[in-house]
């Protein structure tokens, strides 16, 4: 009846996951009860859960990423403490639990923190920057988000029901095959990634189409803000690379469920093929994450230097070059697998070549700052912190791209330090910069600068104290994923790294405090102009938060930095006081399709993991029925009457006029 599921799935003998799970469960129940008792449920359902508004979906993506960042961060804290204490002892985490923690940490941080964070920011901002009213496929967008949430939910269920994979974040066979991992851990891993992978693919298709097909009047490709370009490149990579991940995991699942032999040791399976395929996805994936971050830094550096981006066209070229070359370097993740000098040399050289466009970008940001009037607001601090940190990470990356050096450093703590250096220093700093920069746009009030700066400095210093020692222990020969060790020389560095982790934790607490303090003081921090940073691109041309239709009129773009040009024009001529003629606007109706679809996908995923076949069929039929109902609906749009548009827009126009006249007076 319930497949492999019975009471032994709950780890009653392991207090840590059980207590953690209980605390989370109580917290979720408390929030749910509070929501229901206070009567917020209809509002949440109407305005958020069923919303197809790209801004709302973007915010929900970022919320999901933030919650999962806390989960992945707790895993990191546990690992750092374990390695600090497990010198000539077993530490406090038994091996099977420690292995689950490092696997969950990697999986969560990449798939459920970094990915939703950058996709959320792209969703929130790209349509605004393009000057349009929504993304190309609004309901698909909602489906994509909720499927990602399903994946995250399944990973977290594994904390208390069953176990998670003990195989590392990429589940290499033969360890991940049934003979070595008979439990449900790898199944949790694979099914949650399959389901959220569909969501990511939908988001990718949606954003590519949005950038290619929906641009306002005069917004040529070479007038798009840099963030739109990096969004295009990153989502092209999603569309090209994620099917590889899906196919690879599907083959692994066939091995596990139906006795196939794609990646087994025996019967003609080829383990190396898994490494090859998973990294053919895995390397583009790191550029999927970091390209949007590059876009965010371009926007932030240019805004806070008060200058147009230096070398815009070279930046576009560098972005698209990275987009293609990122598909030519994947072997550098397995130089040591034995492909020989010819293959290793070619991929080593390709890996060094891809550092060139990245270097071009760094110089462009530096030259943008050069001679600018720089304001060191919190987003700019993250951007400068990124440049310093990312150069170190990039250089150690070029070092491990040299095959002979890689034979020494492969799977060492040096590698761990390197990829944390580029992912934290690149993607996470970028996500935080974007969060600080665009928060006023999304919610209509600024974030508290004091707590923001404190969060930056603690995170920045904490990062160095945590990860620089890992480079050193890597040089001293420490391999990654060690549950305990007996080498005295490593010990002091592991303790330093644990101290660094504490500093990083203070940074995270500052970030939470910033949010709490800012929400409390939101009236004082209110942004009425819609343009709190003196921005350059079109998202600042509408109010904060933007109305549901984003723009009452499609902005007419006449060059790069569209909004900057409009402001300059308005200052010279003052605003012409003609009354524009408002028109009715059609917007897509909200739809529960995404949420219902994800509900059934969750049931199906859970049932597949535990081999509950009748439930699999139930979930599958439910998801398909949802699709059919959606496909046959009649009314998919509603009309906002012209008077309503006029009423909303006039308020914004008044604020903006007074701002310009004030600036004119100065």
**CA pair distance 659, 655, nearest whole angstrom:** 6
Element spanning 588, H or E? strand 585-588
* Residue 244: CB minimum distance to other proteins, A: 7
Say if residues 252 and 239 touch (Cβ distance below 8 Å): no
User: Of the candidates 51, 47, 162, 164, which has an alpha carbon nearest to the alpha carbon of residue 105?
Assistant: 164
**CA pair distance 156, 457, nearest whole angstrom:** 31
Q: Scanning the structure block, which residue is given the tokens 């995923």? A: 605
Which positions from 192 through 231 interact with other proteins, judged by CB under 8 A?
Answer: 212-217, 219
Q: Does 240 bind other proteins (CB under 8 A)?
A: yes
**CA pair distance 393, 385, nearest whole angstrom:** 12
Q: Does 134 bind other proteins (CB under 8 A)?
A: yes
* Residue 77: CB minimum distance to other proteins, A: 38
Q: Does 406 bind other proteins (CB under 8 A)?
A: no
Q: Does 314 bind other proteins (CB under 8 A)?
A: no
Q: Does 526 bind other proteins (CB under 8 A)?
A: no
**CA pair distance 378, 455, nearest whole angstrom:** 9
**CA pair distance 109, 36, nearest whole angstrom:** 31
Q: What is the largest CA-CA distance in the chain?
A: 81
Binding string to other proteins for residues 627 to 666, with x set by CB under 8 A, is what? Answer: ----------x-----------------------------
Binding string to other proteins for residues 428 to 467, with x set by CB under 8 A, is what? Answer: ----------------------------------------
Among 49-57, 296-304, 327-335, 507-515, the segment contacting other proteins (CB under 8 A): 327-335
Interacting residues of 634 by C-beta distance below 8 A, sequence separation 6+ = none
Give 328 or 387: the residue with its C-beta nearer to other proteins: 328
Provide the 8-state DSSP code for 111.
Answer: I
* Residue 208: CB minimum distance to other proteins, A: 9
Among 139-147, 373-381, 581-589, 624-632, the segment contacting other proteins (CB under 8 A): 581-589
Give 130 or 309: the residue with its C-beta nearer to other proteins: 130
Q: Does 270 bind other proteins (CB under 8 A)?
A: yes
Q: Does 328 bind other proteins (CB under 8 A)?
A: yes
Q: Within a 13 Å sphere around the CA of 416, how many CA atoms are in the beta-carbon half?
A: 29
**CA pair distance 182, 272, nearest whole angstrom:** 21
Q: Does 263 bind other proteins (CB under 8 A)?
A: no
- Identify the residue among 14, 74, 246, 276 touching other proteins (CB under 8 A): 276
Neighbouring CB atoms inside 10 A of 8's CB total 9
Element spanning 625, H or E? helix 613-631
Q: Does 280 bind other proteins (CB under 8 A)?
A: yes
Give 39 or 338: the residue with its C-beta nearer to other proteins: 338
Q: Does 340 bind other proteins (CB under 8 A)?
A: yes
Beta bridge partners of 187: none
- Identify the residue among 63, 81, 273, 513 touching other proteins (CB under 8 A): 273
Among 102-110, 320-328, 463-471, 521-529, the segment contacting other proteins (CB under 8 A): 320-328
Q: Scanning the structure block, which residue is given the tokens 């607490």? A: 509
Say if residues 274 and 250 touch (Cβ distance below 8 Å): no
Interacting residues of 206 by C-beta distance below 8 A, sequence separation 6+ = 135, 136, 137, 140, 141, 144
- Identify the residue among 453, 522, 526, 554 touching other proteins (CB under 8 A): 554
**CA pair distance 283, 327, nearest whole angstrom:** 7
- Identify the residue among 113, 124, 277, 416 touching other proteins (CB under 8 A): 277
Provide the 8-state DSSP code for 488.
Answer: G
Q: Does 132 bind other proteins (CB under 8 A)?
A: yes
CA distances from residue 659 to 346, 419, 528, 534, 567 in whole angstroms, order as listed: 57, 45, 10, 11, 10
Among 56-64, 274-282, 366-374, 625-633, the segment contacting other proteins (CB under 8 A): 274-282
Give 14 or 270: the residue with its C-beta nearer to other proteins: 270
- Identify the residue among 24, 67, 308, 337 touching other proteins (CB under 8 A): 337
* Residue 331: CB minimum distance to other proteins, A: 6
Q: Is the peptide bond before 174 cis (omega within 30 degrees of 0)?
A: yes
Neighbouring CB atoms inside 10 A of 135's CB total 26
Among 270-278, 424-432, 487-495, 592-600, the segment contacting other proteins (CB under 8 A): 270-278
Q: Does 468 bind other proteins (CB under 8 A)?
A: no
Q: Does 338 bind other proteins (CB under 8 A)?
A: yes
* Residue 138: CB minimum distance to other proteins, A: 8
Q: Does 332 bind other proteins (CB under 8 A)?
A: no
Three-class SS of residue 575? Answer: coil
For every residue of 63-76, DSSP letters joined together read HHHHHHHHHHHHHH
* Residue 542: CB minimum distance to other proteins, A: 15
* Residue 44: CB minimum distance to other proteins, A: 26
* Residue 340: CB minimum distance to other proteins, A: 5
Among 113-121, 328-336, 508-516, 519-527, the segment contacting other proteins (CB under 8 A): 328-336
Give 106 or 131: the residue with its C-beta nearer to other proteins: 131
**CA pair distance 600, 619, nearest whole angstrom:** 5
| Environment class of 299 (CB within 10 Å of its CB; exposed 0-12, middle 13-18, buried 19+) | buried
Three-class SS of residue 131? Answer: coil
Tell me which residues touch other proteins (CB under 8 A).
Answer: 132-134, 212-217, 219, 236, 240, 244, 270, 272-273, 276-277, 280, 324, 327-328, 330-331, 337-340, 342-343, 554, 586-588, 637
């Amino acid at each position: 009846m319930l497949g492999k599921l019975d009471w032994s799935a709950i780890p009653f003998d392991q207090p840590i996951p059980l207590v953690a799970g209980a605390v989370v469960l109580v917290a979720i129940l408390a929030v749910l009860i509070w929501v229901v008792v206070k009567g917020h449920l209809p509002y949440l359902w109407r305005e958020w859960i069923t919303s197809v508004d790209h801004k709302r979906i973007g915010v929900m993506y970022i919320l999901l990423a933030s919650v999962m960042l806390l989960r992945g961060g707790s895993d990191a804290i546990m690992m750092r403490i374990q390695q600090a204490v497990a010198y000539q002892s077993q530490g406090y985490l038994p091996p099977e639990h420690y292995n689950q923690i490092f696997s969950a940490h990697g999986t969560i941080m990449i798939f459920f923190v970094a990915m939703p964070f950058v996709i959320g920011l792209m969703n929130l901002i790209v349509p605004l920057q393009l000057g349009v009213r929504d993304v190309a496929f609004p309901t698909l967008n909602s489906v994509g988000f909720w499927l990602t949430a399903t994946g995250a939910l399944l990973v977290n269920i594994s904390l208390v029901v069953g176990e998670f994979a003990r195989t590392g974040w990429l589940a290499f066979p033969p360890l991940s095959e049934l003979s070595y991992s008979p439990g449900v851990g790898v199944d949790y891993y694979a099914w949650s990634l399959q389901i959220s992978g569909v969501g990511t693919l939908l988001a990718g298709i949606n954003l590519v189409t949005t950038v290619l097909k929906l641009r306002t009047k005069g917004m040529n490709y070479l007038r798009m803000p840099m963030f739109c370009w990096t969004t295009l490149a990153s989502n092209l990579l999603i569309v090209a690379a994620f099917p590889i991940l899906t196919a690879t995991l599907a083959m692994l699942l066939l091995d596990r469920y139906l006795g196939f032999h794609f990646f087994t040791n025996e019967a003609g399976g080829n383990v190396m093929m898994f490494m090859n395929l998973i990294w053919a996805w895995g390397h583009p994936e790191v550029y999927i994450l970091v390209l949007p971050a590059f876009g965010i830094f371009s926007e932030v550096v240019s805004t806070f230097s008060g200058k147009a981006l230096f070398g815009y066209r070279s930046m576009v070229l560098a972005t698209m070059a990275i987009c293609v070359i990122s598909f030519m370097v994947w072997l550098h993740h397995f130089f040591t697998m034995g492909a020989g000098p010819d293959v290793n040399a070619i991929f080593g050289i390709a890996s060094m070549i891809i550092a060139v466009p990245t270097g071009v970008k760094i110089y462009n940001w530096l030259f943008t700052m050069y001679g600018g009037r720089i304001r060191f607001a919190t987003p700019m601090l993250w951007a400068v912190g990124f440049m310093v940190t990312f150069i170190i990470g990039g250089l150690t990356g070029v070092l491990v791209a040299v095959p002979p050096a890689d034979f020494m450093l492969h799977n060492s703590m040096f590698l761990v330090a390197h990829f944390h250096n580029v992912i934290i220093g690149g993607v996470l700093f970028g996500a935080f910069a974007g969060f600080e920069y665009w928060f006023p746009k999304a919610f209509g009030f600024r974030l508290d600068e004091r707590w923001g700066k404190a969060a930056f400095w603690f995170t920045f210093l904490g990062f160095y104290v945590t990860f620089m020692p890992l480079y050193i222990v890597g040089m001293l020969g420490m391999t990654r994923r060690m549950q305990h060790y007996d080498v005295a020389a490593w010990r002091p560095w592991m303790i330093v790294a644990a101290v660094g982790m504490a500093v990083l934790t203070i940074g995270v607490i500052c970030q939470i405090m910033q949010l709490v303090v800012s929400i409390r003081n939101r009236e004082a921090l209110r942004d009425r102009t819609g343009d709190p940073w003196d921005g350059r691109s079109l998202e600042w041309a509408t109010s904060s938060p933007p109305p549901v239709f984003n723009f009452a009129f499609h902005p007419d773009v006449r060059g790069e930095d569209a909004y900057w040009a409009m402001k300059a024009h308005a200052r010279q001529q003052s605003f012409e006081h003609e009354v524009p003629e408002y028109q009715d606007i059609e917007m897509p109706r909200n739809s529960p399709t995404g949420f219902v679809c994800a509900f059934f996908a969750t049931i199906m995923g859970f049932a597949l993991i535990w081999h509950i076949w009748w439930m699999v069929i139930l979930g599958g039929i439910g998801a398909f029925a949802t699709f059919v109902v959606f496909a046959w609906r009649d009314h998919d749009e509603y009309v906002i009457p012209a008077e309503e548009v006029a009423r909303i827009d006039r308020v914004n126009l008044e604020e903006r006029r007074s701002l310009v006249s004030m600036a004119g007076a100065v």
